[in-house]
Amino acid sequence: CASLPPCASLCLPASLSSPSPFLCLPFPLYLLHPLPSSHETKHSAYAKADLAAGGMGTGALQPLIERALFPSPKPSRYNPELQNLIWIPSEHKDKIPCTFFQNPLASHLVIYCHGNAADLGTIYYETQGLASFLKVHVLAMEYSGYGLYEGTPSEGVINKDLGSVFRFATATLNIPSSRIVFYGRSLGTGPCSKVAAQLCRKKTPVGGLILQSPFTSILDAARNISSLAGLVMKNCWSNDVEIEAITCPLIIVHGKLDKVIPHKMGTELYHLCPSTKKRLLISETASHNSFHLFHDLIKPISKFIQDFVDVKENLKALAVVIPSTYVCVKAHNRLSGAVL
């Protein structure tokens, strides 16, 4: 079974009348730039989301919340010599570390965004396996502040970085957008839904969207654990808003035993999505951190790609060559030019 490291925990009051004064709130997600108050409508919140800025939580709690919600593995679980590691230009001065796995039979590229408490090292064999079993190329992206990527994680930075990775795939690797599939797991469903929705709104063809253990919003996931989460948290990554713009093929995979992000959130997103090519799989045996690799992931996702994504007969294999300038060792956030 594929699994993720344990989620970070933030202790919050379970309720005012709870017999236990505190409840540990596990987060498979980052809390990043806040959205407006929950009293506003979702769509007005969406319109203002790109303008939102500021801290997470309030007052003295902010550092505690940030540490709990950004539990990047320390030290990094990989080094600059990691095989298949490439560095993609971002909109800012930093380069984005990514791993790229090729499959000679691949006709599509999957851009993968990992879950919380993980980095490219911890998901290395998971993404390598996806490339092998799904017969796709896989480009996995790191988050700012995680692994070898210096900086501070935020919703805005991660969304922009995913956009940069997408543009690298289309402009530098010359991969048609219609052959690109976004795959987000847990936290990663936020940026994947956001960027895929932006592309769909612009009528840019998208190969598909895969959401594994998705949340409706960060705040909804937190409130599932503690009804008082809204007192110290603000919202971000509203997947329930973004999903309404998704017109590309969609598959949602969720575990019925998921206690972190209830499977009802995945079901809600499925019904909100207007795409005519969509599927929902609720695994009876999967939890948040444990899925059966073949039965829960490979088999249904392969069928999804075959039925909805790879729809053209005799679609040629997608040959991809990474320019040597992107395959290098990092030294103080700069490209050294040394080819691995």
Q: If you average pLDDT over each of 17-31, 73-87, 145-159, 265-279, which comes out highest?
A: 265-279
Q: For residue range 121-163, list pLDDT tens digits in order.
A: 999 999 999 999 999 999 999 999 999 999 888 889 999 999 9
What average pLDDT score do residues 51-73 get? 54
Contacts of 206 (CB under 8 A, 6+ apart): 177, 178, 180, 181, 182, 196, 199, 200, 248
CA dist 141 → 81, 149, 208 (Å)? 17, 10, 17
Lowest mean pLDDT among 60-74, 162-176, 248-262: 60-74
Supply the pLDDT for residue 129: 95
d(CA 200, CA 87): 27
**Tokens (6 digits) for 121:** 């090292």
Q: Mapped to the 3 state alphabet, what secondary structure does the chain carry? A: CEECCCCEEEEECCCCCCCCCCEEEEECCCCCCCCCCCCCCHHHHHHHHCCCCCCCCCCCHHHHHHHHHCCCCCCCCCCCCCCCEEEEECCCCCEEEEEEECCCCCCCEEEEECCCCCCCCCCHHHHHHHHHHHCCEEEEECCCCCCCCCCCCCHHHHHHHHHHHHHHHHHHCCCCHHHEEEEEEHHHHHHHHHHHHHHHHCCCCCCEEEEECCCCCHHHHHHHHCCCHHHCCCCCCCHHHHHHHCCCCEEEEEECCCCCCCHHHHHHHHHHCCCCCEEEEEECCCCCCEECHHHHHHHHHHHHHHHHHCCCCCCCCCCCCCCHHHCCCEECCEECCCCC
Q: Please state whether the predicted TM-score (pTM) of the whole model is above 0.85.
A: no
pLDDT score of 261 more than 60: yes
Mean pLDDT of the chain: 80
pLDDT score of 28 more than 50: no
d(CA 139, CA 75): 23
Comparing 39 with 178, the larger pLDDT belongs to: 178
Could you tell me the pLDDT band of residue 73, with boundaries at 50, 70 and 90? confident
Supply the pLDDT for residue 166: 98
Radius of gyration of the chain (CA): 19
d(CA 313, CA 311): 6
Supply the pLDDT for residue 154: 85
Give the bridge partners for 2, in sequence order.
291
Contacts of 71 (CB under 8 A, 6+ apart): 7, 8, 27, 116, 117
Nearest to 261 by CA among 251, 269, 272, 250: 269
Supply the pLDDT for residue 330: 46
Could you tell me the pLDDT band of residue 62, with boundaries at 50, 70 and 90? low
pLDDT score of 253 more than 60: yes
